Amino acid sequence: DAGITQSPRHKVTETGTPVTLRCHQTENHRYMYWYRQDPGHGLRLIHYSYGVKDTDKGEVSDGYSVSRSKTEDFLLTLESATSSQTSVYFCASGGPPNWFSGNTIYFGEGSWLTVV
C-alpha cells in the first residue's frame, strides 16, 4: 500500500466554523486529489493538484479551498462549514496522468466530517 494518510479521521464541527483536513503522502507523487463521497453520488472531485502550488478546481469546488506548499501535503479547507458539507472526504495521490504506463492512484482511508 502507498503511504497516504488523512487527518483527522473523524470530526464533528459546528456550522460556520472553518475546518482543515490534511492529506500526507510519502511516495513523492506529483498528483494529489480531494474527493467527497455521498450516497448515490460516487466520488466527486473537489480540487486536485498537479504540483507544489499548482491546483485546479473539480466538479464541486464551491465552499472549499486547497493548498499544497510541499509535495507530500495537500490541505483541504472548508472556509465556513455548512450542513451540506457533511460527508466522507477521500484524499488520493498518484504519479503523472500517463495512464498508458498504468500509473495507479492510491486512496487514503477517508475522513468522516459531520457539520451540526
Partner 1 sequence: TQLLEQSPQFLSIQEGENLTVYCNSSSVFSSLQWYRQEPGEGPVLLVTVVTGGEVKKLKRLTFQFGDARKDSSLHITAAQPGDTGLYLCAGAENQGGKLIFGQGTELSVKP
How many residues interact with partner 1 (rule CB under 8 A)?
Answer: 28
Residue 94: CB atoms within 10 Å: 20
Residues 8-67 that bind partner 1 (CB under 8 A): 31, 33, 35, 40-45, 48, 50, 56, 58-59
Give dist(CA 63, CA 20) in Å, integer: 12
CA distances from 46 to 25, 41, 43, 50 (A): 18, 13, 9, 14
Pick from 19, 90, 113, 115: which binds partner 1 (CB under 8 A)? Answer: 90
Which positions touch partner 1 (CB under 8 A)?
Answer: 31, 33, 35, 40-45, 48, 50, 56, 58-59, 90, 92, 96-97, 99-100, 102, 104-110
